[in-house]
Amino acid sequence: MGGTFDPVHNGHLVAASEVGTLFGLDEVIFVPTGEPWQKVDRQVSPAEDRYLMTVIATASNPRFSVSRADIDRGGATYTIDTLRDLHRTYPDAELFFITGADALQQILSWKNAADMFELAHFIGVTRPGYVLDDDGLPDGAVTLVEVPALAISSSDCRERRGRGMPVWYLVPDGVVQYIEKRKLYRRA
Ligand code: ATP
Ligand code: MG
């Protein structure tokens, strides 16, 4: 499951847990992006902070782990590179790429879309406020899954912190504490 994870929130975790169970996955690997090219319009928190928040959020689940592949590669993150790296690390694994309805809508515009479908099966999860629609996607390349709806977004969490509102229960407790400790998402 790729994402900016700025910060990781309970919507990400529920989606990962649901897909992991439904597809009998051995492991869900969270892959925080390096420099997200789709988000050049805003300041993204340092990769190391996003990585650590993702580690904190997933540490207690034996089936969740975090990969540094995108962060350590450097430069802009393209999903095709993520999949190639994971394939190199786990040559015998059957790979699934978990993505939300909003990201799925952009999938065809991604670099090397056809090659991506060769490397992994794509799973599109529902997300409140976005219609899940596989129109135009190659037959059989994507499975759509309904996950329990959590109307949480990282943008909303950041914006709440900026207004001095709590993010308790939207993100795991350890992530609330990390945000405090590192003074992330504070007003300038
Ligand atoms: P931002 O608001 O900054 O875009 P985000 O909440 O969308 O952050 P991302 O890190 O961009 O979080 O998302 C990573 C992946 O998780 C994306 O594929 C996204 O669609 C999916 N996702 C995010 N929030 C939810 C949610 N509440 N339910 C289901 N999927 C989600
Ligand atoms: Mg997003």
Domain extent listing, the chain: 2-152
Dihedral Cα 11, 17, 21, 24, nearest 10 deg: 120
Q: Classify residue 141 by burial, with Cβ atoms within 10 Å: 0-12, 13-18, 19+.
A: middle
Residue with structure tokens 């694994």? 93
ipTM of the assembly? 0.99
Ligand 1 mutation target, pool 1, 12, 39, 82, most atoms within 8 A of CB:
12
Q: Residues near ligand 1 with C-beta < 6 Å?
A: 3-6, 11-12, 15, 99-100, 102-103, 125, 127, 147, 150, 152-155
Full pLDDT tens readout for the chain, 188 residues:
999 999 999 999 999 999 999 999 999 999 999 975 555 667 899 999 999 999 999 999 999 999 999 999 988 888 999 999 999 999 999 999 999 988 888 877 777 888 899 999 999 999 999 888 777 777 788 899 999 999 999 999 999 999 999 999 999 999 999 999 999 998 76
The architecture CATH gives domain 2-152: 3-Layer(aba) Sandwich (3.40)
**pLDDT at site 76:** 86
From the CA of 154, the nearest ligand is: 1
